[in-house]
């Protein structure tokens, strides 16, 4: 995983609506992860059917828990270095980071209640 000091800039990291990205400042992926206690990263692809099904689930998660967890979307085709660093072999793959460290990982579609349960289990 990328904990060994690998630093890279992520292209096309899309945050759900409330994330303000300053165009003048390029942040490393680790810097983004370290900004918030909990960060859920959705590694996805535009051609992926289950990824498209997961998108509205993550939007609802943002509406319900955006104050608790930051949600980022990383397109694996546009960010092969990120995909390689986190050993992403299938999409969608979600990784939950706490204080910049991965604490949970799951590939495939998940329901809103299941994702919320994981986040609540890792709070505090």
117: annotated active-site residue: no
Dist. CA 1–CA 5, nearest whole Å:
9
**Which position among 48, 85, 112, 118 bears the catalytic label?**
48
Note if 4 is an active site residue: no
CA-to-CA dists, residue 59 to 6, 31, 98, 99, 101, angstroms: 29, 23, 20, 22, 23
Which of 51, 54, 71, 115 is catalytic? The answer is 51
**Catalytic site positions:** 48, 51
């Amino acid at each position: 995983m990328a904990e060994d000091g690998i630093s890279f800039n992520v292209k096309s990291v899309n945050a759900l609506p409330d994330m303000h990205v300053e165009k003048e400042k390029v942040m490393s992926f680790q810097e983004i992860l370290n900004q918030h206690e909990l960060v859920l990263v959705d590694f996805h692809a535009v051609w992926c059917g289950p990824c498209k099904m997961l998108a509205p689930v993550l939007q609802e998660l943002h509406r319900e828990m955006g104050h608790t967890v930051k949600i980022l979307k990383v397109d694996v085709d546009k960010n092969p270095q990120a995909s390689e660093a986190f050993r992403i072999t299938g999409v969608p793959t979600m990784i939950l980071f706490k204080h910049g460290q991965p604490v949970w990982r799951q590939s495939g579609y998940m329901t809103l209640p299941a994702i919320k349960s994981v986040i609540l289990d890792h709070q505090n």
